[in-house]
Structure 1
């Protein structure tokens, strides 16, 4: 290993003293880096150890929450180790400022907007402002910070280009002593401004054009850090890089920050000169594609990690970072991506590989290029969300996406969640954690309960049992499951075949609030959406009772299910329009705005007959929407419009509450699109219209995913789609995984039932065979391969070796009832 100090010529003598306040370099064939000011910089690697380094893979690594750009950090070189002396560490930031606002104030050309504020502690080293750009992706402005006031000394300034709408723009600088400061925004390009509190809370004093205002304040967050000295030892041993920190006090809390090259704007994700890594995988199975971080400031959730996270490089090398457990988060700037590790830095350089963890499931077919796209789509949408973190409106979708595959702690989490999620004495399943209602509108004024929580809870419990055959779970939870069903039968009058929502706040009129996942629309009264899930839960309940040996109860639920189906079609089928309506409100008024998701979800659960489904798809594919065009599918490609008729006049609380009514085509609850609905679309097509019809649609979705934006990231997507609520394609939509996972149900025809594993191959003409690896069923990891006339199931578990071949007639299926016996 070569470790170099920068040499100086003094009085004609070449010297290399042991301690210099200059730059150091490490180069051992595997790893090349240099450093100064307490930070490691410009790390490049060669996993072969031959010194053929690729582009910079880590731009910077430093201890704490930010690096101080200082040349006053001396170092020593001894025994292949660089020791940095008296590095100033910035850690444990505390925020002061104003993190609320009521008005976006636009910055006009030639104008300045400002905020005067005071800080009563030493250590402020960053300040950030909340910036609206009115959905523009090309706006710019400059921030400047002064000490004392507008006429004080300039501390720092930065130009911000292509600012994302509603983002925090951060200005950093060396730690300051306590005092008064003035922050100013100037030099706008395009629509840009500063969120301000005009009518609400005031902190400091607001300025405009250098003049103080008598009211209001600008939204800002100043961060005050603990700043302390430490010694940092860095060494490269073969393909591994280590760094140890010795602070002035062993009780100090800190971690390492890693900064990689990253171009936030645009759609490029594979050029190693711009983007170091293509994706990250944690040892707990979470998968984050860097495409999801494009045009964003970060993610709404963290990455769950036990000991390591693997970063797949774009430049021929991968890196594995050691992490001290917990949750890892990403912060995106214009030209960098930052994430934090533990107190010690330990990095391994590895040759590039596209492999995923051994436990990951994988689809395979006779078309390898299709497989590659499908599995990439599957991992990015199904495995990006952390385990858990959802509420009952999502339970059925998470069950369909996750209960058949393995991720560390996943099934254990879901078992506990289903055993303990809060249920009222009357059987109502709470909507949002320990809150009975949805977070908005005001729970003290309105009944904000959702009424899909109960059927989704029952469906999830059934699917958990069907995939695990955990009888102890079922017996421990059966009273809660029955209570949830009884709430629908008694409180919502479901024993008549159809549930009816309460008149108060859930009557289905514009004076009411939402009753399900579609939280801006006042579904209520007698709702087709809630009743589709009620119908599905009746079938699940019958299976649960049958599994417990209660044949009479099972028959009663199946009989009620048939009654529900009959009543559903009598009440909700709009024969003139050829589709199901949305709901009938408490006054008897029908609300039908062409809700595509109501129809595809009802069809997937088996409510219509084939002739009805043919009419549904005639409407969706061949009739005009409120845009005046036949564009239900062509507008967004990855999913149908959520509705085809403008519903801005049918919005909760008359369209004047927290989220006011939106124009058609501008919002994912009025003419926009949500990716999860494509999962039901594909499953419904496969069920009624055949595999070839469904596969054509599935490939259309996959083709849109294969576009440069990978159908994710911030505003705008490839074709101008606004992920700020016009469309929902990745975060914060964990249900998006239903789109790729529909392959399991639509084409492989795999369903776990209380009686066994039912497999009904439904392969499209284009595929000679198809299958899935690492399907987890009753604790066994299975590989299933299908043709139109055969099913093969293999398991390599030494304790449960399985190799079962079943020949079938085309279109037939087979129930495997005793797989666990081999």
Structure 2
């Protein structure tokens, strides 16, 4: 039985690991540059070497049992954050091909799996797919593709293993697919009303509902706070894309709608008593909250939390404010977490702070058990609190959003302190950990195996502390350096086909072209006006704007 359960949990790893095509790097992708260490820093001790080892392990996927790429749209935003800018040209090209060729239904839905609309274990749509597809497409457009990418045509047709699921994407351009994906969110998911709603009656958010997103043991559905984080972010990303194409009216419409989503998100999901966002309101009107740490951190990162809300969330996470109701006696066990327990693992916060088994409705839990294979109650329960990565365990990628949210809310020194805590654990074994739980199942933590999103954590050095991003018009560099990093350099930043070394300290930002882009590009530093990127072999230095 334990072996069977482990196989079920690892279905994603098996299918992902063997589904990646062996792609040669596209012409010019490597430009003859030898890839070695991604980062150089002014930090003391072994910090620089450990950061580079973490990136090599989880960013490039070297010397570790790790799925190299998340093949489905539920991972595309995360894969874009890892690969659009970095020394991973093969996986950047994999992302490129998926963005062009991924199957799409008549109503604009981006399929959940490579050979059917739904998730293969329960055959329902995961509705954050469209938002994450849009976010990844917009990121690739800004970092690499430009208009030529938007004009590429899907020349493939995918046959579903299930009936009446035609793929109609053949002949559509990327831009047409992005717009159709947005239309699905605004019409089918009712986003035009100011909040996306999962309308599938199978995913009604109740204890009888089916999962509808990445966190596929929780019964997120109907009014889902997780879904609406990504809908909100995708509205802003698509607005930037449309404005860059000259469609200012459409861009304004999307931005106005995003503002409405933000207002309704606060009204719907903010629990002022607990000082955090809840997870879901089901179709009966019942709220569901198990102290979803990841959801709150992602909401902050994507801009949905006010400064006061973000501060309250971190007071809870950092143990400065105790939510007593998170701790519940279940049978002979005290469940839940508060105070220092939330970060007891060191490498990530616990995914939840209240046990899912602590709430029962009509004898049922808000937990998809996969036909009684993954259970939180009963004699053979194998996913009780602390023994499953979604129920009081942890997934490593969340630390990326933790540090990004801390940078926004508490500043670079606080965010770096969190990274130092992660490094303390990484030094022991490179976090190559996949322990069996109390029943022998390997789903206690999510670090290696089917978790390519783990690479987001070392990517935070570039995306967070060095502040790398891209708009349709320019590369963006907005460093947020802690005192422990007097200077920081990313040595292989790929932008529009060029490769650049970018170094920042408190006084200046220096950019050297290792391999020049194929067309003129600009960079915007610290919010100042854009300037031309250097030619190959040349370097520019830009004085920092006082922070």
In structure 2, the residue matched to 1:553 is 250
- 2:402 maps to 1:693: no
Aligned pairs for 1:226-265 (under 5 A) are none
1:701-726, CA deviations, whole angstroms, 9 ceiling, x for partnerless residues? 1111111x321144369xx9988111
Larger Rg: 1
Q: Does 1:477 align with 2:174?
A: yes
Match of 1:660 among 370, 375, 392: 375
Task: Write out aligned runs for 1:655-804 (5 A).
Answer: 657-661=372-376, 662-707=383-428, 709-715=429-435, 724-797=442-515
User: Per chain length, whose mean CA-contact separation is higher, i.e. which structure has more relative contact order (CA < 8 Å, sep 6+)?
Assistant: 2
2-structure distance, mates of 1:820, 1:480 = 34
Cα-to-partner distance string for 1:678-735 (whole Å, 9 max, x where unaligned): 000000000111000100001101111111x321144369xx9988111111111111
More strand per residue: 1
**Residue 559 of structure 1: CA displacement?**
1.1
CA positional deviation for 1:474: 1.3
Distance 1:361 1:637 in 2: 25
Aligned partner of 2:366 among 647, 651, 655: 651
Aligned residue for 1:409, secondary structure, equals helix
| Structure 1 or 2: more helix by fraction | 2
The alpha-carbon deviation at position 630 of structure 1 amounts to 2.4
Separation (CA, whole Å) in 1 of partners of 2:350 and 2:227: 20
CA separation of 1:380/1:587 partners in 2, compared to 1, >3 Å: closer, same or farther? same
**Which residue is equivalent to 1:582?**
279
DSSP-derived class of the 1:685 partner: helix
Aligned residues: 473
For the aligned residues, what is the CA RMSD? 3.1
Q: Equivalent residue for 2:265?
A: 568
1:815 CA displacement: 5.6
Q: Contact 2:229 / 2:298 at 8 angstroms: preserved in 1?
A: yes
- The answer as to whether partners of 2:20 and 2:69 remain within 8 angstroms in 1 is no
Deviation at 1:588, TM superposition (A): 0.5
Per the normalisation by structure 2, the TM-score is 0.80
Task: Name which of 148, 173, 193 aligns with 1:496.
Answer: 193
Partner residue, 1:423 = 104
Q: Residue 491 of structure 1 aligns to a residue in which SS?
A: coil
The DSSP-based 3-state class of the residue aligned with 1:505 is coil
Pairing 1:636–2:345 present = yes
**Do the aligned partners of 1:713 and 1:723 also contact (CA within 8 Å) in 2?**
no
What is the CA-CA distance between 1:656 and the residue it aligns to?
5.2
Q: CA deviation at 1:299?
A: 12
The answer to which of 618-627 and 558-567 deviates more is 618-627
- Give the 3 Å change call, closer, same or farther, for CA 722–759 of structure 1 in structure 2: farther
Query: How far apart, CA to CA, are the structure 2 residues paired with 1:550 and 1:801?
Result: 24
User: 1:642-670, CA deviations, whole angstroms, 9 ceiling, x for partnerless residues?
Assistant: 11011134434578544333311111111
| Cα distance change on mapping 1:722 and 1:560 into 2, 3 Å | farther
2:227 aligned with 1:530: yes
Q: Take 1:460 and 1:440, find their aligned partners in 2: how far apart are those partners?
A: 25
Gaps in structure 1 of 5+ consecutive residues: 1-102, 105-129, 133-164, 168-297, 308-324, 326-356
In the TM superposition, what are the counterparts of 1:7-406 in structure 2 within 5 Å?
A: 103=1, 301=17, 358-360=34-36, 362-367=38-43, 369-384=46-61, 385=66, 388=69, 390-406=71-87
SS at match of 1:372: helix
Question: 1:548: how far off?
Answer: 1.3
- Answer whether contact 1:499 1:534 (CA < 8 A) is retained: yes
Specify the alignment match of 1:451 in structure 2.
Answer: 127
Match of 1:594 among 291, 294, 303: 291
Question: What's the TM-score, normalizing by structure 1?
Answer: 0.54
Counterpart Cα distance in 2 of 1:701 and 1:742? 12
CA distance 1:304–1:372, change in 2 (3 Å):
farther
Give the 3 Å change call, closer, same or farther, for CA 675–721 of structure 1 in structure 2: farther
- SS of 1:364's equivalent? strand
**Residue 449 (structure 1) shift:** 0.7
* Unaligned 5+ runs, structure 2: 8-13, 25-32, 152-172, 328-334, 360-364, 377-382, 537-547
SS of the equivalent of 2:466 reads coil
Kindly state the Cα deviation for residue 378 of structure 1 after the two structures are TM-superposed: 1.2
Secondary structure in 1 matching 2:17? coil
What is the match of residue 116 of structure 2? 435
Contact 1:794 1:804 (8 Å CA) reproduced? no
